[in-house]
Each structure stands twice: as C-alpha cells, then as structure tokens.
C-alpha cells in the first residue's frame, strides 16, 4: 500500500463541502488545523482485519422499546 500523504487544503475544502459545511475563512482554518491531527489516526485504523472481527457496537432491540417514564416499564 502506498505511503499516505496528508490531504491538501483543496482536498479538505472538497470534503467539507461534501459534508455540507459552508465555513468562514476563520472556521476553515480551524478545520484544517484539527484535521491535521485527526488524519494520522485514520491512516493507522485503515488496515486489514479478519472478516469475523465484530465492531464494539452491539445492537439489542430490547433496549429501544418504548418505556413509560412513570413506571419504568
């Protein structure tokens, strides 16, 4: 796999636009600064895993049944 390279400002602008963000120049600078810290974490996450490796979020439908606040049931 090729060595990842940091996203350019133009690429970050495209990603922000795709996310629906319309940022002022000041807030765009904040995003560029923050993403520079986040991006290396994302690179390290993107690696091969066994197909059977489950994510840590487990869905239990019983947890989302309506509850009466008065009785707790």
User: What CA–CA distance (Å, rounded) separates 11 from 6?
Assistant: 10
Cα angle 30-36-37, degrees, rounded to a multiple of 5: 100
Binding mask 25-64 for other proteins (x = CB under 8 A): --x--xx-xxx-xx--xx-xxx--x---xxxxx--x--xx
Half-sphere exposure (Cβ direction) of 28: Cα atoms closer than 13 Å: 16
Among 2, 10, 22, 25, interactor with other proteins by CB under 8 A: 22
C-alpha torsion 25→31→34→40, nearest 10: -130
Rule CB under 8 A: say whether 72 interacts with other proteins: yes
Residue 4 within binding range of other proteins, rule CB under 8 A: no
- Using CB under 8 A, list all residues that contact other proteins: 12, 15-16, 19-24, 27, 30-31, 33-35, 37-38, 41-42, 44-46, 49, 53-57, 60, 63-64, 67, 69, 72-73
């Amino acid at each position: 796999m090729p060595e990842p390279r940091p996203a350019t400002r133009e690429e970050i602008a495209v990603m922000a636009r795709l996310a629906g963000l319309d940022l002022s120049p000041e807030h765009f600078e904040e995003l560029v600064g923050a993403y520079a810290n986040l991006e290396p974490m994302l690179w390290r996450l993107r690696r091969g895993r066994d197909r059977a490796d489950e994510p840590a979020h487990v869905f239990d439908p019983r947890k989302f049944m309506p509850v009466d606040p008065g009785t707790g049931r």
